[in-house]
């Protein structure tokens, strides 16, 4: 029989955020304007497959249809122990958002160049969540500039750490 202490400990463990998949390419290809956390409507075999840590957000996008948000082209592979009840790997999935958030996103989508992309898929308190972002596509020169800035930042950090190392060595 489990004690109250072990129950509390296991519950606290469940409260954390367990990462399933991340879309790193989205931050490279888009300027992120705003992010939203939303739930997903999933079948049982999809949840089991996600618990195994298997999913891909690379080609995913969100579309608003009839005041409902739908997640398209997210790949959740079939559950290996699934039977005839298994799901289609790339089916569209309904997102759970408040009406005001959906209306706000729908209004922003009317602007040219805006899209909604999934950034992170994770479990929070035992529930599957996806973090989506309202984003605007980057031009090729913006991508190159971002890479250049990141490289410059790395070089500066490397130079600063070398100076600190020399100062510590001289002080010893």
Residues 6+ apart with CB under 8 A from 167: none
Question: Regarding predicted confidence, which is higher, 128 or 11?
Answer: 128
User: How many CA atoms lie less than 13 Å away from 69 in the CB half-sphere?
Assistant: 33
**Mean pLDDT across 1-10:** 49
Beta strands at 30-40 and 93-96: parallel, antiparallel or unpaired: antiparallel
**Chain segment 113-161, per-residue pLDDT in tens:** 788 899 999 998 888 899 999 988 877 777 788 888 889 999 999 999 9
The answer to whether 146 and 28 are in contact (CB under 8 A) is yes
CA 136 to chain centre: 17
Burial of 138 per CB tally in 10 Å (0-12, 13-18, 19+)? middle
pTM (global) more than 0.75:
no
The average pLDDT across 74-95 equals: 75
pLDDT over threshold 80, residue 87: no
| Closest alpha carbon to 35 in 90, 94, 97 | 97
Q: Are 30 and 115 in contact (CB under 8 A)?
A: yes
Q: How does pLDDT run across 33-81, given as a tens digit for each residue?
A: 999 999 998 877 788 888 888 788 888 888 898 889 898 988 888 777 6
DSSP bridge pairs for 69: 64, 95
- Residue 168: count other Cβ atoms within 10 Å of its Cβ: 9
**1: part of which helix (H) or strand (E)?**
none
Cα–Cα distance for residue pair 55/58, rounded to 1 Å: 9
Would you state the pLDDT for residue 1? 47
DSSP helix/strand/coil, 31: strand
């Amino acid at each position: 029989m489990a004690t109250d202490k072990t129950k509390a400990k296991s519950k606290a463990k469940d409260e954390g955020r367990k990462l399933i998949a991340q879309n790193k390419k989205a931050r490279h290809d888009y300027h992120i304007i705003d992010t939203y956390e939303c739930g997903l409507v999933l079948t049982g075999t999809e949840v089991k497959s996600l618990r195994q840590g298997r999913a891909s957000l690379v080609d995913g996008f969100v579309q608003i249809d009839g005041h409902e948000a739908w997640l398209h082209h997210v790949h959740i592979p079939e559950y290996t122990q699934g039977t005839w009840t298994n799901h289609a790997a790339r089916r569209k999935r309904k997102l759970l958002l408040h009406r005001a958030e959906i209306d706000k996103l729908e209004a922003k989508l009317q602007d040219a160049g805006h899209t909604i992309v999934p950034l992170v898929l994770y479990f929070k308190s035992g529930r599957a969540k996806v973090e989506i972002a309202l984003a605007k596509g980057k031009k090729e020169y913006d991508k190159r500039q971002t890479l250049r800035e990141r490289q410059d930042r790395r070089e500066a950090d490397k130079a600063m750490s070398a100076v600190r190392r020399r100062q510590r060595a001289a002080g010893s």
